[in-house]
């Protein structure tokens, strides 16, 4: 890993920061329980909203530290930094290197959401790495200076269903 975010804790205010942005930490019971509850709603697409809101949160962070400029001189370097951030945040290991044009396939061979879901609910047929879809949208929106709605990210296979890795198909809208 080349990029390690800066962590700061203000004990008197009980606030935790990553690269000067306040963050909170949740366990897999919270995160997977939230997904389980949202998926149970059948009168609107809650997961679509969840992905969009995740993308908005990541975008607010990324536009400060992931912009291709003098410090990050290429799209390849920005994608690599995004991989490092994803790993640092504990979401797992992801390969974004095939998204150099803003489209293509991203793969992950280590997923926090798969491990968490397995520990609570067990295997299932549907993919579970919804937050990663929002993460990828925010990465590409930042790097290519687009809106998060300009990218469609579908998880076409997931380790929660015994796939070798999680695979995300990315296209521009
Ligand atoms: Zn997955």
Would you state the structure tokens that stand for residue 47, as one six-digit string? 């997961």
Q: What is the pLDDT of residue 169?
A: 98
> Mean pLDDT, the chain, as a whole number?
95
Decide which of 45 and 72 is more confident.
Answer: 45
Residue 85's pLDDT is what? 96
Residue pair 47/130 in contact (Cβ under 8 Å)? The answer is: yes
Provide the CA 4 distance to its chain's centre, in angstroms: 16
What percent of the chain has pLDDT above 90?
90
Q: How many CA atoms lie within 13 A of 75 on its CB side?
A: 15
Q: Residue 119: is its pLDDT beyond 90?
A: yes
Which tens digits make up the pLDDT trace of 39-60?
Answer: 999 999 999 999 999 999 999 9
Domain ranges of the chain: 27-172
Whether the predicted pLDDT of 71 surpasses 80: no
CA-closest candidate to residue 92, choices 169, 28, 15: 28
Instruction: Determine the average pLDDT of the residues in 137-152.
Output: 97
Q: Which pLDDT belongs to residue 72?
A: 78
CA distances from 19 to 8, 95, 106 (A): 8, 22, 25
pLDDT average, residue stretch 108-123 = 97
- Could you tell me the distance, in angstroms and rounded to a whole number, from the CA of residue 100 to the centre of ligand 1? 21
How high is the pLDDT of residue 106?
98
β 21-23/15-18 pair status: antiparallel
pLDDT at 142 over 90: yes
What pLDDT is recorded for position 1? 84
- Give distance in angstroms: CA of 86 to centre of ligand 1: 14
Residue 140 CA to residue 100 CA, distance in Å, equals 9
| 54 in Cβ contact with 131 (< 8 Å) | yes
Q: How far is the centre of ligand 1, averaged over its atoms, from the C-alpha of 40 (Å)?
A: 19
Could you read off the pLDDT of 8-49 as tens digits, one per residue?
Answer: 999 999 999 999 999 999 999 999 999 999 999 999 999 999
DSSP H stretches of helix in 27-104: 28-40, 46-65, 75-88
Are 5 and 17 in contact by the 8 Å Cβ rule? The answer is no
CATH number of 27-172: 3.30.1380.20
Residues whose beta carbons lie less than 5 angstroms from ion ligand 1: 111, 129, 158, 166
């Amino acid at each position: 890993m080349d990029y390690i975010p800066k962590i700061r804790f203000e004990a008197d205010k009980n606030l935790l920061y990553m690269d000067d942005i306040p963050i909170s930490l949740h366990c897999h019971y919270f995160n997977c329980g939230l997904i389980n509850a949202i998926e149970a709603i059948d009168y609107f697409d809650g997961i679509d909203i969840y992905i969009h809101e995740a993308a908005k949160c990541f975008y607010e962070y990324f536009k400060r530290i992931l912009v291709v400029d003098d410090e990050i001189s290429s799209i390849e370097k920005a994608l690599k930094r995004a991989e490092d951030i994803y790993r640092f945040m504990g979401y797992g290991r992801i390969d974004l290197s095939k998204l150099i044009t803003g489209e293509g396939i991203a793969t992950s061979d280590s997923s926090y959401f798969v491990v968490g879901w397995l520990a609570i609910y067990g295997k299932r047929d549907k993919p579970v790495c919804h937050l990663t879809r929002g993460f990828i949208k925010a990465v590409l929106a930042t790097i290519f200076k687009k809106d998060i709605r300009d990218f469609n990210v579908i998880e076409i296979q997931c380790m929660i269903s015994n796939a070798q890795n999680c695979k995300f198909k990315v296209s521009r809208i």
